[in-house]
Amino acid sequence: MNITTDTNTGINIHLEVPDPAAAEATYAAAFGLGDKLSFRAAQEPATGFRGFMLSLVVAQPSTVDSLVGSALAVGFTMLKPAKKSFWGYGAVIQAPDGTIWKVTSSNKKDTGPATREVDDVVLLLGVDDVKASKQFYVDRGLTVAKSFGGKYVEFASPKSAVKLAMYPRKAAAKDAGVAVDGTGSHQIVIGGNAGSFVDPDGFVWEGTVD
């Protein structure tokens, strides 16, 4: 998956998949995210947990149910059924290409008519050491928006359609409902103004030109 960051156009997500045309049709039917998603042919294999998850944040439980239902209808599988929790209401599903998606709302009850509107898309990186990774990214110019010690960090992205956050890899796998083990490529590249580098957990960034 290639994610290109630009302060004017925001973040574009390019998933690496076996069949780009089929994936484009599947995701359009599942979520309708439009130009927030595009696709390219996968080049490197990966098995097990890839170390990241994409999260769709929505307004209410009926929207969660609607998006999960349409995704399951086009071949996604359920990892964690939708349910209420301390934090709200949500479910975790996995796309046919293997990408894990969390669909969640901070509300436990509907507050208006049902919609399919997505408020935020969040890229959640699972890392070995949140504090070290946070400092690594800060040193490369990213600004912290939220930080909870070694448990969670979210970076500021006021002009981006996609937010970047990180938490411990084991917590990410538990949140996703999968085993923590994984081999091969992360199958994700993050492109942005921070430059070209590989972070402490092997996530690759490619510099872009404004």
pLDDT tens-digit profile, the chain (210 residues): 555 554 433 456 778 888 999 999 999 999 998 878 878 888 888 899 999 999 999 999 999 999 999 999 999 999 999 999 999 999 999 999 999 999 999 999 999 988 999 999 999 999 999 999 999 999 988 899 999 999 999 998 877 778 899 999 999 999 999 999 999 988 877 766 777 889 999 987 876 644
Q: What is the DSSP letter of 80?
A: E
Please, what is the end-to-end C-alpha distance for the chain in angstroms? 21
Residue 57 token pair: 């944040």
Contacts of 53 (CB under 8 A, 6+ apart): 92, 100, 101, 102, 124, 126, 172, 175, 176
Supply the pTM of this predicted model.
0.91
Q: What is the pLDDT of residue 151?
A: 95
Helix, strand, coil content of the chain in percent (nearest 5)? 20, 40, 40
Q: What is the pLDDT of residue 59?
A: 96
